[in-house]
Structure 1
Amino acid sequence: MLARISLLVVSLTIPGALRAEQAAAEKAGFASRLTIYPAKGAPDACGPDCDRWIAIEGEIDENAASRVRRFLAGVKNMQRPIYLHSPGGNVEQSYLIGRLLRGRKAVARVGRTIATACAADAQVDAACLKTKNAGGEIEAELTTYHAMCNSACAYLFLGATSREVAPDAALAVHNSRLVLAIHGNPPPGLIAELRQRRTATADRDRTAYIAAMGIRGELDDLIRTVKFENLHILTRAELYRFGIDTRPLAETTWRLEKGTRPYVSKFATLKNENGPSFRMMEWRLYCDNKNRVPLMFAAEIDAAAVGKRTLMMTADAAPNEEAGGFPTRTGKYEMWSGSLDFGTFRAIMASRSLHVREMTQKPDETADTTRFDIDATGLPSAWTQLAASCPPATPAAKSPSTTIPLPKGTATPAAPSQ
């Protein structure tokens, strides 16, 4: 039997072997070869006092690890964050890259790098890829909106020692598929046996890799239940519970939303103090009206909170000036809308953080208070973009619709992959 299996192995080509083979339409928007390059953006583009990062994007091909190794050998500051945007690819290569990142104590985030020298819809054109692969630093913009790190990319992501998934980005997993390139006509029974053995080995390798990266085995258990044809986007609670992104508060950057009534918005997910669940929140600032700036706050209701709620917000530059009040409830959301005078608005623009205080007056006349800060970095830039989009005459501010859908920050990947 061993001799027969040896002959079969000789007649089979099994490079990497584990990956997801996708249709061309499913891979739209991604290069077929992993690309890695240094990028530079506007001040605070990648966070407070951060304007330079490393972009890794595209499919993880069978030679990706060697290119990443060569690139990282020339990087002295590995605290420069790495932003990943990939549909997946070769699993074995993702393990190798993940271990490279672990050895360099890398900081990894899910995000899309948009080279300013290329049109937004031409980021994977031959000319743009040539620019990205030329070896120099690329002027770029950065966004987490609908960015994704799927399948094999998720294993690569786990290798970093610091990992962040924004509320409007996606980290998604599914089981792998073994791809065999068969030459000759080996007996079907031997092919089935080899496939079974190779799949079992791959399962053991994945389990060992996840454990080595310090991630809870529940992730491996989940992956085994997700068919190759499907894709599971990890929820915020799963990211936290598995030890992937353990921040109790995760935020997006401020970004412009164009439309008939444009605005700038930020999303955040906050862990409930009394349980493992998270709440999604959103802040919106609209075009100024009659020397005041409309502000809206909406959040999923904490089911455990019972009593009258109050929401108050202050800024670093004006700690004694508060905005807020009593939110109204509609369905699974609570919402507050009002407006800021220009003094308070300018204080927010000059601040690094916005301090939020939620108070719940309970029936026994005691109160629960939750305090947290949201990052105001990038708001002035987003507001400048909004000002350019505002109509000449803004009508009187209206309360936001009482029907608040799940925030657009909930990311839905364009295609499954591994």
Structure 2
Amino acid sequence: MPIHFYLRTTYCLIAAVFFLSMIAAIPANAGQKPLEDRPMDFALVHDGNCKETCIRWISAEGAITSNTPKQFKTLLRSLKGRKFPVVFQSYGGDVDAALSIGRMIRAAGLETAIGRTRLNDCPMLEPRCAQKIVRNGWSVGEVHAGGAYCFSACPLALAGGKVRAAGITSDIGLHQITNGRKNSGYGTAGRRNLDAISTRSDPVLKRMLSIYLDEMGVSRDDVFAMMGLATPEGLYRVQNAEALRSGVITKVFSDTEEPGYVSHVADPQASEDVVE
């Protein structure tokens, strides 16, 4: 038994040294924002050369900003009616922008999913690296639902899909909206208030969200309750059963499924620019 322990310890030490050396070998960029702080961008991605069959999707990753709807509108116009699922991975961001994106998704008849995109030849620690995103064309990579996340305002944008899916191990999170300085006694951490969906009581904001969630077929009462269970700094982790019951998602991927549309025939446009 002591011999096995010694070998396991030695192996762990070797693995740790190897991992640290790999991190040290990656050039640091002091001016580069953390992944979660980078503005959301969109990329058309497929997983092969599409000569026979491939999977295609719209990868949407990063923080949702006031400029994100404009970028998404440009992408939709470039697709000229072709439909691909929008696969989100985001820590959230601007609520108004998320609602705008969700409405555009619904109007275009697109599906949504939570998923993480890895582009070919990107570094291990930056799987969706900017240098491998093909602007005005198709990037090549793979997509997985497992381990992906959609937090804060992201589930609002996700709600735009008529079909909205998550993996068994995807992570969905909701919290109160930061809309100014917290009112005294309103939704404090010490006394939960399920009506407290924001840091300040704001009937206009609540009505705006209610109208949107009703449009998308999502239970406003369930969503508001989950938001009220978290503080603006915290996060309420939504379980798959809760997400399905509330309508935040309509489908859970099985172990053999992943986001994206499978095309079984050649599509010459799949490797061509889509913006005129």
Query: What percent identity do the matched residue pairs reach?
Result: 23
Counterpart CA distance in 1 for 2:123 and 2:209 is 38
**Where do 5+ consecutive residues of structure 2 fail to align?**
1-32, 182-198, 263-276
Within the alignment, does 1:228 sit opposite 2:232 as a pair? yes
Q: Corresponding residue for 2:14? A: none
Note the 1:118-267 alignment, pairs <5 A: 118-123=122-127, 128-132=129-133, 134-179=135-180, 196=200, 199-217=202-220, 218-247=222-251, 250-253=253-256
Q: Say if 1:53 and 1:80, in contact at 8 Å, map to a contact too.
A: yes
- Match among 54, 59, 78 for residue 55 of structure 1: 59
Q: Distance in 2 between matches of 1:71 and 1:155?
A: 20
Return the offset for 1:28: 4.0
Change in 2 beyond 3 A, CA 1:51/1:254 = closer
Q: Which residue of 1 aligns with 2:38?
A: 32
**What is the distance in 1 between the residues matched to 2:247 and 2:126?**
36
One-letter amino acid of the structure 2 residue matched with residue 173 of structure 1: L
Q: Secondary structure at the match of 1:118?
A: coil
User: In 1, Cα distance between the equivalents of 2:230 and 2:242?
Assistant: 15
- The one-character-per-residue Cα deviations of 1:238-288 (angstroms, maximum 9, x if unpaired) are 1221123334x6413489xxxxxxxxxxxxxxxxxxxxxxxxxxxxxxxxx
Asked if residue 95 in structure 1 is aligned to residue 95 in structure 2, the reply is no
Residue 44 of structure 2 aligns to which amino acid in structure 1? Answer: P
Aligned-pair distance for 1:225? Answer: 3.1
Q: Relative to structure 1, is the Cα distance of residues 142 and 215 closer, same or farther in structure 2, using a 3 angstrom cutoff?
A: same
TM-score, with length taken from structure 2: 0.67
Separation in structure 2 between the aligned mates of residue 88 and residue 155 of structure 1, nearest angstrom: 9
Cα distance in structure 1, aligned partners of 2:171 and 2:253: 13
C-alpha deviation, 1:77, in angstroms: 5.1
Q: Deviations over 1:280-331 (max 9, x none)?
A: xxxxxxxxxxxxxxxxxxxxxxxxxxxxxxxxxxxxxxxxxxxxxxxxxxxx
Task: Say whether the 8 Å CA contact 2:112–2:161 is kept in structure 1.
Answer: yes
Q: Which has the larger radius of gyration?
A: 1
Q: Aligned ranges for residues 11-30 of structure 1 at < 5 Å?
A: 28-30=34-36
Q: Is 2:70 aligned against 1:66? A: yes
Counting only pairs closer than 5 Å after superposition, residues 295-334 of structure 1 correspond to structure 2 as none
1:416 aligns with: none
Alpha-carbon distance in structure 2 between the residues aligned to 1:227 and 1:62: 23
**Conserved 8 A contact 1:89-1:151:** yes
**1:54-80 deviation digits (Å, cap 9, x = unpaired):** 100000112111010111111145532
Could you tell me the TM-score, scaled by structure 1's length? 0.46
Structure with the greater relative contact order (CA < 8 A, sep ≥ 6): 1 or 2? 2
- Equivalent pairs counted in the alignment come to 207
CA RMSD of aligned residues (A): 2.7
The 8 Å contact of residues 226 and 236 in structure 2, kept in 1 or not, is answered as no
- The alpha-carbon deviation at position 159 of structure 1 amounts to 0.8
For 1:98 and 1:179, the matched residues in 2 are separated by: 24
Partner of 1:41: 47
Indicate if the aligned counterparts of 1:60 and 1:94 stay in contact, CA closer than 8 A.
Answer: yes
**Alignment partner of 2:36: what SS?**
coil
| Alignment correspondent of 1:286 | none
Residue ranges of structure 1 left out of the alignment (5+ in a row):
1-26, 181-194, 256-376, 378-418
